[in-house]
Chain A
Amino acid sequence: MAHPYRRRSRRKVCRFCVNPELPLDYKHPEVLGQFLSERAKIIPSRISGNCAHHQRLLSVEIKRARNVALLPFTRLP
C-alpha cells in the first residue's frame, strides 16, 4: 500500500513526443508560452515532463521568440 502522506503523481510525458502536430516554433508564442512560469522563466523539464531532445529545441525557440518580442523576457506576477 502506498504511503499515506505520499501523493500519487501522474506520469509526466513530453507533450511534443505525444503530439507531433504541436508546433515547436518561435512563431507560435501561444504554445511556447505554456512552458513559461509566471515570471516568464523557462519551466524545467523536471517539472514539465519534456524529453531532453524537445526541451533543448524548446529553449532555443523560446529565446528566438523573445528576441522578436513575441514572448516576454520577464514579467511581474
Chain B
Amino acid sequence: MAQTWNRYESLLLFDPDLGTEATEELVQRTRGFVTNEGGRLIKTDRWGVRATAFELKGRSKAYYLLLEFAGPIQAARELDRRLNLVDTVLKFQTIKLADRIDPDGLPDEEDLGLAEPAAGAAPAGEASAPEAPEGAAAETGAPAPEEKTDGDGGA
C-alpha cells in the first residue's frame, strides 16, 4: 500500500443565516474537499441549526455538520486548510478516530439529515434532552481512543 489511511471525524459550524440552498451547496463543497484529496466519506450527518453554548462571531446559533471520513493524512490536512479559507465556516474541529485502517474494510457511505427539516431537527432535540443515554449510545457507539489532529480552525 502506498499510503497509510486513517479515519477522521470533523464537526463543522457554518453560518446559520445562509439559507437552505447555500448551506447545502457548502455541504457539498466541503464533501468535495475530502474526496478531491483521495479521501472517502463514511458519514455525513446534518445536525442542522442549533444554539451554541457561547457567541461565535456575534452569532448564538450555528449550522452543525458532522463528517466522518477515511483517507491519507493529506485529505485531513487539505480539508482543514480549505475550511480556513471559507469565511462562512465559523469553526471546525477534526479528530482522528483510528490509525492505520484498512481502506477495503470501510463501511458504506451514509448521508443523514438531508433536505427534510424534521430529520435535521431530530439530533438537536435529542441532544438538548436532559437524559437520553440509551438512545444516544446506540447512535455513535463507544468512543475510540482518539488523537486530535487540529484544534479549532476557522475562528
Contacts and interface: CB of A to CB of B under 8 A. Distances in A.
- Does B bind A? yes
Interface of A: 19, 21-25, 27-31, 57, 61, 64, 66-73
Main secondary structure of the interface of A (DSSP, over half): loop
A64 B149 CA distance: 12
Contacts of B128: 30
B112 to A, nearest CB: 13
Given A64-B93, A68-B93, A69-B56, A23 B137 contact: yes
Contacts, number: 63
B133 A21 contact: yes
A72 to B, nearest CB: 4
B138 to A, nearest CB: 8
Nearest to A31: B133
A23 B62 contact: no
Given A29-B53, A67-B93, 8 more contacts: A19-B133, A21-B134, A23-B133, A28-B140, A64-B93, A64-B95, A67-B91, A69-B62
